[in-house]
Amino acid sequence: MKSSDASRLTLILLFTPFALWIILLIILPQIGIGWLSLREKIGPREYTFGFGNYLDFFHEPIYWNTLLRTAWISVLVTVLALFIGFPVAWYIARIARRRSRAALFLMCLIPLWVSDLVRAFGWILLLRETGLVSGALQWIGFTSGPVELLYNDITVVIGMVYTVVLFMIVPLVSTLDGMDNALLEAGYNLGGSRFTVFRRIVVPYAMPGIVAGCIITFMLAAGSYLTPILLGGKNSMWFTEQIYDQYVTRSNWESGATFGVLLLVFTSAVVWLGLRLTGQSLASTVAKE
Amino acid sequence: MHDLECVNLTRVFGRHTAVNDVSFTVPRGSFFSILGPSGCGKTTLMRMIAGFETPDKGDIRIKGASVLQVPPNRRSVKMVFQHLALFPMMNIGENIAYGLKCRGESRSEIARKVADVLARIGLPGVAEKQVSQLSGGQKQRIAIARCMVLDPDVLLLDEPLGALDLKLREQMKIELKLLQHQFSTTFLYITHDQSEALVMSDNVAVMNAGRFEQIGTPKELYNAPRTGFVAGFVGDTNRWAGKVIAISGQSTRVALEAGPEITATAGTAGLTPGSRAEVFIRPETLSLSPVAGANQFTGSVDSLLFNGANSRILLRSGERLIEIAQGVMDATTAVARGDQVSAWVRPAHALVFPAQMAG
């Protein structure tokens, strides 16, 4: 066998699982959902094709309001995760010693060993009416009766920031890690204040990491289901909840598929807008290295 | 008038004294180099002047005023970093304009100054280029321009030629000197490369283990070193251990280990008969033709090392290998491998220093 044949065989063998995964688990289901979303039910086992499902979505304010609300809370979660994650990433990448860096990274990863569900229940234990925080507030005399801290937007945002912040920290650490200290010193030496150095040197340098982290956290937040439902309650008005409702509660697969397509298109549009505004591309951020 | 004055500067890291009681002054507009092996504390010294390190003792004065309380971004000392540290997220023009913007100068003023400095360093019209589009030597000049556009009192250069290849380095040495003349700013240059220091500097300080061994013009350091370290570190030299036998004025009789007794010149006071000493003889001071009153070494030619104008004859004399400079090495060279020859050196060219404890 010629060596070029061997290398081609290797390539095919390596590529096949990836291709199967992409085609069977991503492309085919998406085509299926797209097809389903265009199918309208006019009678039992009677269907026609058109954009009726999409028109329904736009005619019902509760649907698109939920989508907008989901998007805006996800943006808020992303921004908060960035503000919380940046100092943490800065500490891990630039201030911590080489040896403690691995330990710090590990500490960030530990929450991931526990499932989303268990983590959400952890928050519930803390924040419910009979939970730890409520009890502590009563004990110090801050409130006279038990307080319910669950089932509001603030709790949902806190819970979601907690679940996604790691995905902000990791790309930030990897970009900040590569920055030469001399760049910062040159920034000061040439007369820059702390703020100038941060704005003109650190942020532009870290921009690929910032954008990558923001894309990942935004997508995770907008597509999350457990945290908003468990911490926000039945009325959390989260778009994934609407999709679940359509599929499971109402058995309206066509409508559920439409919502699925709309969520994908809408979040992609937000990411695209973010990339355009920051002048980055997918290749320079998420696909880096 | 001195642009830069350091007084008894000391910096200690844990138990290691990086800079130990260093004092020097740099006259206005001169090119001052600090030459030393790596780890001698020269980078720490420079970082203290730039304000990135705080001295434990001593004072730094720029134009007569102490700057110890001045933060690094307010000192009129600009620095060219070892790897230049040009900002990759800005183009060349923005890199140069950065400091001016920090100072809050007007847009038109900035544009004029950037164009002006680019013309002065001989790179007009590169303002729109990206850093990665320039060659090593061009980046070098941009890094200097970025500092010079701010009119600093002192420009610090931290081994900026280290990353360049040999040919370019030779070229940049001359260019740096010309730039310094052109801007007539005080340059403080740090290097471990003696030829950079000797070629460019008005004054050189040789630094070793946190201290200044000697400050002088390149010629003084080369021809009249005051310590054994300077004699050994600056320039090539033959270095032999021996013992002092007798001293009369400058003239010193030294018995070399496993070698003849020679007459040499004391490089420093403090030699006593019977003390251990080292003799330093530069290759170019050894002559293959007889010199009256000179020390004579006899041996056989071990090998001829060709290196253009810096070629060497290696003469084996007993256990000792003597390096002799040979400016022209071609068919006219009188000696060949295996020849028995003698080499002569004047007592004035053989310097004696007390033996160093280590090294």
- Beta strands, E only, B268-319: 276-281, 295-305, 311-317
Residues A88 and A151 in one domain: yes
Residues A14 and A148 in one domain: no
Number of domains in chain A: 2
Q: What's the rounded mean pLDDT across residues B8-28?
A: 92
Q: For residue A267, tell me if it sits in a domain.
A: yes
* Residue B133 DSSP class: G
Does the distance separating the beta carbons of B102 and A191 come in below 8 Å? yes
* Residue B127 DSSP class: T
> What is the CA angle B275-B276-B282, rounded to 5?
125
Distance CA B224, CA B240 (A): 18
Of residues B15, B76, B18, B34, the one with CA closest to residue B214: B34
Q: How confident is the model at residue B217 (pLDDT cuts 50, 70, 90)?
A: very high
Residues A8 and A123 in one domain: no
Q: For residue A209, tell me if it sits in a domain.
A: yes
| Residue where the block lists tokens 């329904």 | A56
Does the distance separating the beta carbons of B102 and A185 come in below 8 Å? no
> What is the CA angle A278-A279-A285, rounded to 5?
85
Residues A234 and A265 in one domain: yes
Q: For residue A45, tell me if it sits in a domain.
A: no
Distance CA A187, CA A202 (A): 10
Residues A93 and A169 in one domain: yes
- Indicate the range of A78-92, B129-143, B321-335 predicted with least confidence: B321-335
List the single residue in B51, B77, B85 with the smallest CB-CB distance to A183: B85
Determine the structural domain holding residue A1 and report its residue range: 1-37
Residues A83 and A213 in one domain: yes
Q: For residue A226, tell me if it sits in a domain.
A: yes
Residues A102 and A30 in one domain: no
Helix (H, G, I), strand (E, B) or coil at B216: strand
- Considering only CB atoms, which chain A residues are within 8 Å of B78? 189-190
Distance CA A263, CA A57 (A): 12
The structural domains of chain B, ordered by start, are: 2-229 (3.40.50.300), 236-354 (2.40.50.140)
- Considering only CB atoms, which chain B residues are within 8 Å of A201? 87, 89
* Structural contact between residues B354 and B271, judged by C-beta atoms closer than 8 angstroms: yes
Does the distance separating the beta carbons of B81 and A190 come in below 8 Å? no
Residue A234 sits in a domain of what CATH number?
1.10.3720.10
Chain A contact present for B221, CB below 8 A: no
List the single residue in A180, A189, A201 with the smallest CB-CB distance to B50: A189
**Could you give the residue ranges of the DSSP H alpha helices within B121-276?**
136-148, 166-183, 194-200, 218-223, 228-233
Does the distance separating the beta carbons of B78 and A185 come in below 8 Å? no
* Structural contact between residues B186 and B155, judged by C-beta atoms closer than 8 angstroms: yes
- Tell which of A188, A190, A207 to mutate to test the B interface (max B CBs under 10 Å): A190
* Structural contact between residues B203 and B33, judged by C-beta atoms closer than 8 angstroms: yes
Chain B contact present for A182, CB below 8 A: yes
Both tokens of B133, joined, read 């589009």
Does the distance separating the beta carbons of B99 and A191 come in below 8 Å? yes
Q: How many CB pairs under 8 A join A and B?
A: 63
- Considering only CB atoms, which chain B residues are within 8 Å of A188? 51-52, 71-73
Residues A232 and A269 in one domain: yes
Does the distance separating the beta carbons of A182 and B82 come in below 8 Å? yes
Q: For residue A44, tell me if it sits in a domain.
A: no
Residues A167 and A29 in one domain: no
Residues A106 and A31 in one domain: no
Residues A222 and A89 in one domain: yes
Question: What pTM was computed for the model?
Answer: 0.82
Distance CA B189, CA B275 (A): 37
pLDDT of residue A2: 64
ipTM confidence? 0.83
Q: For residue A151, tell me if it sits in a domain.
A: yes
Residues A25 and A156 in one domain: no
pLDDT of residue A287: 66
List the single residue in B77, B98, B150 with the smallest CB-CB distance to A200: B98
Q: What's the rounded mean pLDDT across residues B207-214?
A: 92
Q: What is the pLDDT of residues A72-124, one digit of tens each?
A: 999 999 999 999 999 999 999 999 888 888 888 888 888 888 888 888 888 88
